[in-house]
Amino acid sequence: MNDMTPTAAERAAKLEGLGCKRKRVEDIRFVQGKGNYVDDLKLPGMLYGDLVRSPHGHARITRLDTTKAAAVPGVVAVLTADVLKTVNLAWMPTLAGDVQMVLADGKVLFQNQEVAFVVAESREAAADAVELVEVEYEPLPVNVDPLKAMAPNAPVIREDIKDKTDGAHGKRKHYNHVFSWQAGDKAAADAAFEKADVKIREFIVYPRVHPCPLETCQCVASFDKIEGELTLWGTFQAPHVIRTVGSLISKIPEHKIHVIAPDIGGGFGNKVGAYSGYICAIVASIVTGRPVKWTEDRIENLSTTAFARDFHMDVEIACTKDGKVTGLRCYTIADHGAFDACANATKWPAGLFSIISGSYDFPAAYCLVDGVYTNKAPGGVAYRCSFRVTEAAYCIERAMDIMAQKLGMDPAEFRMKNLIRREQFPYTSAFGWQYDSGDYQTALKKAMEATNYTKLRDEQKAKREAFKRGETRELMGIGVAFFTEIVGAGPSRACDILGIAMFDSAEIRIHPTGSGICRLGTKSQGQGHETTYAQIIATELGLPADNITVEEGNTDTAPYGLGTYGSRSTPVSGAATAMACRKIKAKAQMIAAYMLEVHDDDLEWDVDRFRVKGNPERSKTMTELAWAAYHEVPPGMEPGLEAINYYDPPNFTFPYGAYICVVDIDVDTGMAKVRRFFALDDCGTRINPMIIEGQIHGGLTEAFGIAMGQEIHYDPDGNVTTASFMDYFLPTAVETPHWETDWTEVPSPHHPIGAKGVGESPNVGGVPCFSNAVNDAFSFLGSTHIQMPHDHWRVWTAAENLGLHQ
């Protein structure tokens, strides 16, 4: 070796592997306007579809006449439920085991429900014809309140299953009941409450919200009549699932369906499901023999596809008088809207809600969830969260604050006392989850030190005194949240979607010159997969990340996968990528041994090469081995250098974090201004710190929107009143706070590279942190809980109720 020989560290840095703030590959096209989104697609002869929607929340259809619409010049077809019935597609199965109308069949069950689908030569003609479809409605009584859904005289939402006593998840209690689901040990929890020194109980609502990516849902369906093949481009977070579901519904053989998800303009859970517009576009293409494009407008997006949350939680905590939690109970009413179109693992009608014991050592816990039907849009997706984890985290983090308040303890101190301790991992929760790893106290301590927590409390104390003396009209609130997520769905013993185990996959081919391609079953919607998967490969195989193409979203070329949501890409496909690399590396090692004429075991890995132990001068780089794999493999060995891995994770992963927020509340207007927000996350091994930080910023901003203003609101007549960007709170750069981030790094012990997933953590932890801060501002006056969203008038009303405007 001479001085010019790069050191191992220099060679590693050149690879841009794990831990590198690698600039994103995909940005080159995006910053030039050369992204390839669904609506950019324009095929020869393409038609445009547009939907007729119900103005009513609940009504019987007494007349539906498409004659005038069909006569509009340029209109090619008008689909209604009756037309769809001829191909047995008026209804479709949902991912949650329910069925759902594709187009209104006899009645409408929520406002803006799909009633007819017009197909025309232009968007303009389709829109003109939508206006001319004549529908007469006979309004029916409406219920949009989940707490009234199971009342004896509640309006019957689902006449099709009114008399069915069994649903997809067991016995039904009422004609508007979807399912009951429970977890934990009721007897043990009840016993804990009987013995408890201190108890709290609170009714906590997580309002209905919407993921609202900037690009709405859209697709282009193109059916080739001669080949009998369907190509479907769409905004799909899970392209393979769409292919399988599409095949099951349409009876087109699965190998004759080609699903392509090009660039996606944000998903956040909105683009997991199968929506009426997709089915209509497919049928229309089959009927007309021409490609059909369907694009949602923003009102349609907010009011029909994929709401999230709408959980109404009655939570209790039992505790000793010195502040040790002993029991947890929670009864939840889950509003599923008119159809249960929840995007959950099929066996989990309430998702992973039983993560509700959070980060704390609860000896006993029990939860029960009842799902109900109402006259609202169907859905129930995980908006930037793993199935129902946000609801659980919000509930427990609010409840912990309320208990701390009752005990007269500081909320951070109370948490510190009850966090699962490092030596308890792996820790089995009262609900049976095995938390694999963590060092919670260190994380919380670090966050408290970074924000100078004690000093903040001193400042708050002084401000409260000043407020009481009438010297200020501002109240200061400090929010603390410590969340544990359960992501990476998931282990096949626990998780499937319509029977398909929730594994994921990676297929890697290394080309002779040492570059390669990796194809996966996941689908980026902005997470930067093209950049980060290549980094895993770079470190695993010692090839520069720049030499690796990452390809997703084409079901013909990618191995089967369940898609990207629930922070599952890194935990599952990231693991599959590493495991596929290890197969390749094992073969490369045999080739190296052959070339260097030593035994396999005499070789050791050195960043980008195998070298002979004790004789490092003798080595073969991975680039050399790639060439050899196509040139001089050992006798009897198959040539080539590629591998595929289907990874069935042994467990979920459990990212966690400690967040602290400071708000200043103008008591006279109700405006809560976020002064400071500090987020410490532990997502295990960090693949690309730049992208992680970006994910945290984005998730916190979405959490800020949810906590401070978002709500999909229905009036009592079933009208959705917040279905535009005027009224659905999406913060601009002006409202959005400045974010401070930090991390700890406790790798997941069961994940090949120790990574746990990060995209959803800031939403899961952010919402309770903002909410705790607002609630904390008023806690010294005896207020225990103010419902979200914490928009101006609701905060003002809380102050009004406390007599602060006298």
Closest separation in Å from C-beta 237 to another protein: 12
Residue tagged 């997703």 (tokens): 552
Q: Which is nearer to another protein, 184 or 670 (CB)?
A: 670
Closest separation in Å from C-beta 214 to another protein: 5
CB 673 within 8 A of CB 666: yes
**Residues 648-662 as b or e (16 or more Cβ within 10 Å = b):** bbebbbbbbbbbbbb
Closest separation in Å from C-beta 406 to another protein: 30
DSSP string, 449-511: HHTTHHHHHHHHHHHHHHHHTTS-SEEEEEEEEEEE--BS---TTT-EETTEE--EEEEEEE-
Closest separation in Å from C-beta 50 to another protein: 8
Q: Which is nearer to another protein, 457 or 697 (CB)?
A: 697
Q: At a CB cut-off of 8 Å and minimum separation 6, what does 241 contact?
A: 95, 272, 497, 498, 500, 562, 563
**Residues 560-587 as b or e (16 or more Cβ within 10 Å = b):** bbbbbbbbbbbbbbbbbbbbbbeebbeb
CB 47 within 8 A of CB 284: yes
Torsion of CA 598, 596, 606, 617, to 10 degrees: 110
What is the distance between the alpha carbons of residues 658 and 415, in angstroms, rounded to a whole number? 11
Closest separation in Å from C-beta 490 to another protein: 25
What is the distance between the alpha carbons of residues 762 and 571, in angstroms, rounded to a whole number? 17
Q: Which is nearer to another protein, 169 or 293 (CB)?
A: 293
Query: What single-letter DSSP state applies at residue 159?
Result: G
Closest separation in Å from C-beta 231 to another protein: 20
Q: Which of 380, 396, 383, 381 is nearest to 430 (CA)?
A: 396
CB 377 within 8 A of CB 367: no
Q: How many angstroms separate the first and last alpha carbons of the chain?
A: 82
Backbone angles phi, psi at 248, to 5 degrees: -65, -40
- H or E element that contains 622: helix 622-629
Q: Which amino acid is at 734?
A: V
Closest separation in Å from C-beta 76 to another protein: 17
Q: Which is nearer to another protein, 109 or 703 (CB)?
A: 703
CB 209 within 8 A of CB 711: yes
Q: Which is nearer to another protein, 300 or 504 (CB)?
A: 300
Q: Which of 525, 393, 497 is nearest to 38 (CA)?
A: 525
Q: Which is nearer to another protein, 37 or 594 (CB)?
A: 37
Q: Which is nearer to another protein, 655 or 670 (CB)?
A: 670
Q: Which is nearer to another protein, 196 or 212 (CB)?
A: 212
Cβ atoms < 10 Å from Cβ of 616: 13
The CA-based angle 726-729-732, given to 5 degrees, is 90
CB 678 within 8 A of CB 663: no
Q: Which is nearer to another protein, 34 or 85 (CB)?
A: 34
Backbone angles phi, psi at 225, to 5 degrees: -65, -35
List Cα–Cα distances, 593 to 587, 596, 602, 620, in angstroms.
10, 5, 8, 9
Closest separation in Å from C-beta 723 to another protein: 11
List Cα–Cα distances, 350 to 241, 314, 375, 684, in angstroms.
20, 15, 20, 27
Taking each helix axis as running N to C, give the angle between helix 239-250 and helix 276-288, from 0 to 180 degrees, rounded to the nearest 10: 60
Q: Is 483 exposed, middle or buried, given 0-12, 13-18 or 19+ CB atoms closer than 10 A?
A: buried
413 noted as active-site residue: no
Closest separation in Å from C-beta 376 to another protein: 17
385 noted as active-site residue: yes
Q: Which of 394, 343, 600, 648 is nearest to 502 (CA)?
A: 648
Q: Among 100, 113, 237, 695, which one carries the catalytic annotation?
A: 237
CB 641 within 8 A of CB 584: yes
Closest separation in Å from C-beta 449 to another protein: 15
Query: Tokens representing 171?
Result: 């016995």
Closest separation in Å from C-beta 576 to another protein: 23
DSSP string, 542-554: ---GGGEEEEESB
Q: Among 342, 367, 385, 683, which one carries the catalytic annotation?
A: 385
Closest separation in Å from C-beta 794 to another protein: 8
Q: Which amino acid is at 251?
A: K
To the nearest 5 percent, what fractions of the chain are helix, strand and coil?
A: 30, 25, 40
Backbone angles phi, psi at 49, to 5 degrees: -105, 145
Residue tagged 């990231």 (tokens): 574
Closest separation in Å from C-beta 314 to another protein: 26
237 noted as active-site residue: yes
675 noted as active-site residue: no
Q: Which is nearer to another protein, 650 or 716 (CB)?
A: 716
Q: Among 300, 540, 624, 760, which one carries the catalytic annotation?
A: 760
Q: Which is nearer to another protein, 263 or 340 (CB)?
A: 263
Q: Among 22, 53, 290, 384, which one carries the catalytic annotation?
A: 384
Name the 3-class secondary structure at 158.
coil
CB 765 within 8 A of CB 483: yes
* Active-site amino acid positions: 237, 384-385, 760
